Amino acid sequence: MSTDAPDSPWSASVLTLYPEMFPGPLGASLAGQALRRRIWSLQTVNIRDFATDKHRKVDDTPAGGGPGMVLRADVADLALEHVLQPGERRPILYLTPRGRPLTQKRVKELAEGPGIVLFCGRFEGVDERLVEARQLEEVSLGDFVLSGGEIAALALLDAAIRLLPGVMGKAESGVEESFSGGLLEYPHYTRPRLWRGREIPPVLLSGDHGRIAAWRREQAEHVTRERREDLWAAYRARRDEQE
């Protein structure tokens, strides 16, 4: 056993119709090592195990008509009940395109907490009454539609796990990156100095840390202004407030 494992690992419970998708990519690389070192733990629960009829049905047709199927609230709730501990402190998140967009700020808060319970939707999603009754926090990965919540759950877990103490090599690699200062990150370069006729920007080889920092800030501001009007406006508002 390694000596660096905390007393109780950051714990993730995932409710899904496809438990075989976990840990999937989170079994490799940084997250995989951290799982084996018990920095985080993973429980997967198959929602279908809580179906009550002999066909193990988890979905039904939408009330009011329309295409697709809807996950039943009663079945999903039994699955949730199964993972919730007495005095449960972990937030319960439902991955859905109708949710608030996930941000690095929220990921950081989640990483600083005791863990997370994730509900992965399928079909057209889950009956709204489950969301209300269990006060699920609805989060979206972005303005596009996946076929299920599993890949979104894996992405969210990956983002949180890399922030857990002891997971990333250098503590600062989580501090100076995209979004942490409200800007997208500056571009990176490494050897060789000349590649396909392209030089590394000379300022980065100058050894002048003040000039390097200024150049990087300028680049970060430039790319944010070009690509992300929303982040740029928020950044400027904050800057003006400070002045």
Taking the alpha carbons of 116, 120, 124, 126 in that order, is the dihedral positive or negative? negative
100 binds ligand SAH (CB under 6 A): no
Cα(139)–Cα(13) distance, integer angstroms: 16
Q: Which of 13, 16, 140, 224 binds ligand SAH (CB under 6 A)?
A: 140
Question: Which candidate, 165, 77, 63, places its Cα nearest to that of 124?
Answer: 63
Nearest 5 degrees, angle CA 178-CA 184-CA 185?
65
216 binds ligand SAH (CB under 6 A): no
Show the binding pattern over residues 44-83: x = contacts ligand SAH (CB under 6 A), - = does not: ----------------------------------------
Position 180, amino acid: S
| Minimum CB distance to ligand SAH, residue 99 (Å) | 7
DSSP H or E run through 99: strand 92-101
16 binds ligand SAH (CB under 6 A): no
Residue count, binding to ligand SAH (CB under 6 A): 18
Per CB under 6 A, the segment of 41-49, 135-143, 160-168, 205-213 that binds ligand SAH is 135-143
**CA distances (Å), origin 164, targets 21, 109, 144:** 22, 11, 28
Q: Which of 51, 76, 125, 220 binds ligand SAH (CB under 6 A)?
A: 125
Cα(95)–Cα(119) distance, integer angstroms: 7
Both tokens of 128, joined, read: 């709204």
121 binds ligand SAH (CB under 6 A): yes
> Contact at 8 Å (CB) between 92 and 117?
yes
Q: Which of 42, 45, 131, 141 binds ligand SAH (CB under 6 A)?
A: 141
Taking the alpha carbons of 225, 230, 232, 233 in that order, is the dihedral positive or negative? positive
| Minimum CB distance to ligand SAH, residue 158 (Å) | 14
Rg (CA), the chain: 22
Nearest 5 degrees, angle CA 99-CA 127-CA 144?
35
142 binds ligand SAH (CB under 6 A): yes
Show the binding pattern over residues 144-173: x = contacts ligand SAH (CB under 6 A), - = does not: xxx-xx--x---------------------
30 binds ligand SAH (CB under 6 A): no
Q: Which of 58, 95, 164, 220 binds ligand SAH (CB under 6 A)?
A: 95
Per CB under 6 A, the segment of 59-67, 119-127, 204-212, 225-233 that binds ligand SAH is 119-127
97 binds ligand SAH (CB under 6 A): yes
Cα(225)–Cα(233) distance, integer angstroms: 8
Taking the C-alpha atoms of 141, 146, 152 and 155 in order, what is their torsion angle to the nearest 10 degrees? -90
91 binds ligand SAH (CB under 6 A): no
Binding site for ligand SAH (CB under 6 A): 95-98, 120-122, 124-125, 140-142, 144-146, 148-149, 152
